Structure 1
Amino acid sequence: MTVRRLAPVDAQTLWMSAAVPNDQFLLYGFGGAMADPAGALDEIRRRACECADLSVRVRDTGAWRYPVWDRCAVDAAQFVTHPDGTWAGCLAAAARLVANQLDPWTHPWRLHVFPTVDGVPGVGAGCVVLLQISHALADGGRSSALAARLFGRPGAVPAVPAPAARGFVRRSFAAAQAHRRLVRDSDAGLVPPQADSRPALRSNTQSAGALSLRTLIRRRDQLPGTTTVTVGVLTAVSAALAGHLRDLGDDPALLGAEVPMAKPGVRRANNHYGNVGVGLYPHLPSDRRVQAIAADLLGRRRRASHPALAAEASAFAAIPAPLLRWGVGQFDPDRRSDTVVGNTVVSSVHRGAADLSFGGAPVVLTAGFPSLSPMMGVTHGVHGIGDTVAVSVHAAQSAIGDVDAYLDRLDHALG
């Protein structure tokens, strides 16, 4: 891999991490305790050395230019072995790791290994591996592909092309023209309008107090609804979160979720997604709620496919580094808003077939815990591998109160 400068969206993610930590944590559970974790890690390290995107770190090139991805050796310090314990203890340890963010200028990923874990859902005694990875290096889909490469899935992870560096003024003019067309098409009903903002609720409280990670495991055919896994989980989150917030004194009538959605078109950055707002419609019966949520997601996809969004992305891809640095520097994490895109995040990624292994032990589940932010104190992850789906909760005490009470509601809503 030759030296490649960061795409603007990846640089923005990198620079924003100084104010809002955004490392991703990808959890994989394997059936059976590790008899030879050192040997298993040697194999993982060999695969990492063979993967161009896992043999890099960030190198700054001055305030007037974008940083670059520079080649570097995979280091032994990127592999951390933790004491044996329980599944609950493993999740508690992972929650503590959230405060220990990576330094992408040294290494943008780290692998945490829990060789013997009692109570792994579905298998009892097992092994848990947690991949911590800088969001600048990969979004949810790409980080899952890189993890799969480490755990033995054949085939290379497709390379991301070098970003465009010129044409900001021209592209900005084209984006402005395309936006006027989007407004006209929205007014004419040809594309769905922009999603409405929603009142901020307790779940949007700035994170304070203990951080908690929890998981619920289901088979795909156990999830509610007859559409997609994502819609089924959103339907359950609607019922559980609305009831929980109502008991905390909030009015969840306009409850909504922020959902990361892959962008259409060719990937031109490590991060190739956008967050969209969807209603959760807690007042509707379950069957109508499923239909309304599915319609909202379809509407967001239709709007995202409008040429104006591609023109906007093209202009952003050519933004000069000093201008973007200045813009990121204006962000104030302590600033509050009365309205939000969503009252929680629900991030859904299918991680493919159950064809991964670690030291010969087969994968049995995978989970993820979307980052919290100043205006988002409760997030949900929906991650599937094979026929197993993990629904995860990442929450701050200030935003959720009793996390186990909320988990009981969500468990019931999932069926």
Structure 2
Amino acid sequence: MAANRLTAVDAQMFWMSSRMPNDTFLLYGFEGVPTDLDAALAELAAAAGRSPDLTRRVSDDEPWHYPRWVPHQVDAAQFRVHHLADSSWAGCLAAVVALVDDQLDAAVTPWRLHVFPGVHGVPQIGGPATVAVLQITHVLGGGGRTCGPAAVMFGRDAEVPAVTPVHGNPLTLPWRSLQAARTHQHLMRDTLTGSVPPAAAQCAPLRTNDPPAGLRSMRTVVRDRAQLAGATVTVAALAAISEALAGQLRDLGTDPAMLGALGAEVTMAKAGPRRSYNHFGTVGIGLRPELPREDRRAAIAAELAARKKRAAHPAMRASERAFDATPARLLRWGISHFNPDARSATVTGNTVVSSVNCGAADFSFAGAPVRLAAAFPGLSPMIGITHCVTGVGDTITLSVFAAESAIGDIDAYVRRLEAALS
């Protein structure tokens, strides 16, 4: 297969975007406003034009084959400046929510940068700020991958590690499937003997799993990394979400304890070299709101370790190799029959929680240093509230994107999160 073909998992992400929108939104807060915004945007366009990731788009003109990556010339139309009537931080986040409905077509425009100059009240910034939001197709990866090219566009002196794609030969699918079945039997045996942790338990759907309805809102809770000492940033965030979400749901008349569990669907990077842009999986993590805070953190950390150990079993890689060999036509047909409105009796989690590490705060917008980074995973028919833990330098942002139907008063929920993180 040609090296410029999308891998099976990236093609799946591309085709699924027509059934269920999945653009990634990365937000950066810069301290200050450029005096010459046009010149600043021209610098960004020139830097983007040197990025292998930001100068490609998808071509899907061969029904029997996987789509191809083709060159894409960075265009000035990809940079959109928004002058807000309400220039507050809340007004800016409301404007970002409105962007979600205008999803990208990766075959035409793989990314856009939305710029909001003169925003006031941005956390970590005392005066007027420039907020830049990178809207980028998920075909190029989630926030954990796309934050790299974004930082380089903003001036980071580094190279983003290249993706080394792995393409399966469809002729090997029967053999790969047989190998996957055999190693799955080994996984079942190892699970019974206790050498591999069992699969995560499924959760009962809650109101957070209803189709999103009503007002959609974005909020952020910002902390210094040192304030989250005693656990990893992700564990601290999950423990706080557990406390806040359980309390909010109880006030809305739904007690998670009465339904047996409260859980989160957590993204987890796959081990080994990056074989595709979307080199991650999702795992279910029990949030254990009934436990005291430190016990809850310990339980969540142990379950994350268990999920990582199970994901390292050879059966998982064998399953991936079989999927890599799926004929393009077959995968395309299967996705065309996916029904996003279908309901499930159980779910992996009652919310989604992902993590993005943007690294050092070593980039800027025309000299205005970065002070804040946040990411907002999208809502889906089965998830009405998502969270993301994003770090840049020593600043950690816990972002929330929620529909009113899922959480009720989002500001009341955020106050609970703030208290749980204190």
Give the structure-2-normalised TM-score.
0.96
Aligned position for 1:411: 418
Deviations 1:58-115 (A, max 9, x none): 1113221111110021111110001042211110000000000011111110000112
Q: How does 1:52-67 map to 2 (within 5 A)?
A: 52-67=52-67
| Structure-1 residue corresponding to 2:163 | 160
Q: Is residue 138 from structure 1 mapped to residue 179 from structure 2 by the alignment? A: no
Counterparts of 1:368-387 in structure 2, within 5 Å, are 368-387=375-394
| Shift, 1:163, TM fit | 3.1
2:211 partner SS: coil
Contact 2:26–2:143 (CA<8 Å) still a contact in 1? no
User: In structure 2, how many angstroms separate the alpha carbons of the residues matched to 1:53 and 1:4?
Assistant: 12
**1:47 partner letter:** A
Q: Find the aligned partners of 2:420 and 2:145 in 1 and give their Cα distance.
A: 30
Change (3 A) 1:162 1:381: closer
Distance 2:213 2:414 in 1: 19
Say which SS state the counterpart of residue 258 (structure 1) adopts.
Answer: strand
- Cα deviation 1:390-411 (Å, max 9, x = unaligned): 1110001111111111111111
CA RMSD between the two structures: 1.2
Name the residue aligned to 2:183: 178
Deviation at 1:152, TM superposition (A): 1.1
Q: 1:237 is matched by which residue type in structure 2?
A: I
Q: Using the alignment, how far apart are the partners of 2:121 and 2:247 within structure 1?
A: 29
| 1:366-392, Cα deviation, whole Å (9 max, x unpaired) | 001111111100000110111100111
Q: Secondary structure at the match of 1:373?
A: coil
How far off its partner does 1:142 sit?
1.0
Q: CA contact under 8 A between 1:198 and 1:255: conserved in structure 2? A: yes
1:54 is paired with a residue whose SS is: coil
Alignment deviations for residues 304-331 of structure 1 (CA, whole Å, 9 cap, x no partner): 1111111111111111101111221221
1:251-290 superposed matches below 5 A: 251-253=255-257, 254-290=261-297
Tell me the SS of whatever aligns to 2:353. Answer: strand
Q: For residue 217 of structure 1, what is the aligned residue in structure 2?
A: 222
How far apart, CA to CA, are the structure 2 residues paired with 1:127 and 1:71?
Answer: 30
Contact 1:5 1:163 in 2 (8 A): no
2:354 is matched with: 347
Amino acid at match of 2:249: L
What's the offset of the Cα at 1:201?
Answer: 0.5
The 5 A counterparts of 1:350-365 are 350-365=357-372
In the TM superposition, residue 40 of structure 1 has moved relative to its aligned partner by 1.2
Return closer, same or farther for 1:276/1:207 CA change in 2, 3 Å cut-off. Answer: same
| CA distances 1:155-190 after superposition (whole Å, capped 9, x unpaired) | 222222243241222222111111111110011100
Pick which of 80-89 and 303-312 moved more.
Answer: 80-89
Q: Which residue of 2 aligns with 1:201?
A: 206
Corresponding residue of 2:41: 41
Contact preservation (8 Å) 1:3, 1:69: no
- The residue identity in structure 1 corresponding to 2:338 is F
8 Å CA contact 1:11–1:66 kept in 2: the answer is yes
Aligned to 1:99: 101
Separation of aligned partners in 1, 2:299 and 2:291:
9
Match of 1:238 in 2: 242
1:111 to 104, 110, 113: 113
2:12 alignment counterpart: 12
Which residue is 2:328 aligned to? 321
Stretches of structure 2 that go unaligned for 5 or more consecutive residues are none
The more displaced of 354-363 and 166-175 is 166-175
How far apart in 2 are the matches of 1:169 and 1:411?
52
Residue 338 of structure 1: CA displacement?
A: 2.4
- 1:169 and 2:163 correspond: no
CA drift at 1:149? 1.2
Listed one character per residue, the Cα deviations across residues 342-382 of structure 1 (whole Å, up to 9, x for unaligned) are 00111111110110101100000100111111110000011
Structure 1 position 3, deviation (Å): 6.9
* Structure-1 residue corresponding to 2:71: 71
Q: How many corresponding residue pairs?
A: 413
Question: Contact between 2:246 and 2:256, CA under 8 Å: does it hold in 1?
Answer: yes
Could you list the structure 1 runs, at least 4 aligned residues long, displaced by more than 3 angstroms after superposition.
none
The amino acid that maps onto 2:243 is A
- Whole-angstrom CA distance in 2 between matches of 1:27 and 1:413: 24
Q: What SS is found at the alignment partner of 1:340?
A: coil
